[in-house]
Structure 1
Amino acid sequence: MITNAHIRATAEAYLREHPQASDELAPLFGLLGQDAQLASRKEFRGHVTAGAILADTEGRILFIEHVALARWLTPGGHLEDQDEELMQAALRELAEETGIQPQHVVPLLDSPVHIDVHTIPDSSAKGEPEHQHIDFRYLFATGADVTQLQTEEVSGSAWHEADLLRGGGLKENVMRVLKERA
């Protein structure tokens, strides 16, 4: 299981590279100070999720169509008890949702390319109140393509230019790394 110590160390490493994100990550550090169980999806003050930003050999980014949200997003989701590290959780989610296995993926950074804090609306159907997701997003590259979609959660996939990425520095961070690697 991913520990709060691992979450804190990963977030601190990210802030060393992106000190301008300190205000955005204040809710995360507040929850860490309250000993919130951030790896548990039942922690409704807020919990951590992991995501994969996957670039192909042309620098395009993989998007999936999320069934429940009816939106195009990058792969990712909740942490599981068997996850030991955030990057590994992002790779697991990528494999589950797209069929692209970790051995066909190369991490482009050792730390997240972006950490996003966003509000999830309440869901009476799931019995979940409004809460925050703290999404640790990792950047990977691959020459592989989607092999099998997790149809209960994903209805489609497509590769798009990186400029379609949205949210608080994500696009800028990804495009900078991809440009440096080109």
Structure 2
Amino acid sequence: MPPAVDHIRSVSNAYLDRHPHERDALSTLFNALAAPADPTNRKTYPAHVTCSAVVIDDNRRVLHVVHRATGKLLAPGGHMEPDDRDLRAAAVRELHEEAGISDDMVAPLTGYEDVPLDIDVHPIGANPLKGEPAHYHVDFRWAFLLYPGTHAVILEKEEVDDYEWRAFADLASPTVGAKLSLLPW
């Protein structure tokens, strides 16, 4: 059973306690949570929840994968699945599926065990081949530390073409980079 609306709302409110200035930017999320449709279902429009794993190695670099469908370099992540028990678990599942990094190879970033590092709302173009209209992904971005000595990345070849590690200043998401740069490393 996918995460309940109450869980998503609770995590979102905890996030906004840290970042109250982002409330207006998350109006799409709260509209989706107020609607009758399941916000975790990939066929819920105009917006649905996705989850990503921001994995940081011992050199303070973040893992990015090249998604085959878009060619974009992003943190491992994607749509919710019916068996995801919560938002963070969905991010860990996607990390394992796309990069071969399992939950025993990472630990949540201290202070971010129950709150995402970032929540981003971004537009997704229409995909007539999948019967999908233009819509929004509300991406809950969870931060994890890769245990030292763990460097093997095994790509899921159906969805991912390549990977690279990037410094905080060079991340695909400037907001994630800015939030990581502010932490006391």
Residue 88 of structure 2 aligns with which residue?
87
Matching of residues 99-138 of structure 1 within 5 Å: 99-108=100-109, 109-110=112-113, 111-138=115-142
Given the superposition, is the C-alpha separation of residues 154 and 146 from structure 1 closer, same or farther in structure 2, using an over 3 Å criterion? farther
Read off the aligned partner of 2:136 and give its amino acid letter: Q
For the 8 Å contact 1:116–1:168, the answer to whether it is kept is no
Does 2:57 align with 1:51? no
Residue 148 of structure 1 aligns with which residue?
154
* Offset, 1:37: 1.0
Matching of residues 23-62 of structure 1 within 5 Å: 23-62=24-63
Moved more, 167-176 or 99-108: 167-176
Partners of 1:45 and 1:168 lie apart in 2 by 25
Paired residues in the alignment total 179
Moved more, 31-40 or 129-138: 31-40
Does 2:11 align with 1:10? yes
SS at match of 2:129: coil
* Offset, 1:169: 2.5
Structure 1 length normalisation: TM-score? 0.94
Runs of 4+ in 1 over 6 A off after TM superposition: none
Partners of 1:24 and 1:167 lie apart in 2 by 15
For the 8 Å contact 1:94–1:100, the answer to whether it is kept is yes
CA RMSD of aligned residues (A): 1.2
SS at match of 2:29: helix
* Offset, 1:165: 2.0
Percent identity over the alignment is 37
Partners of 2:156 and 2:144 lie apart in 1 by 20
Does 2:176 align with 1:170? yes
Partners of 1:168 and 1:23 lie apart in 2 by 19
* Offset, 1:174: 1.9
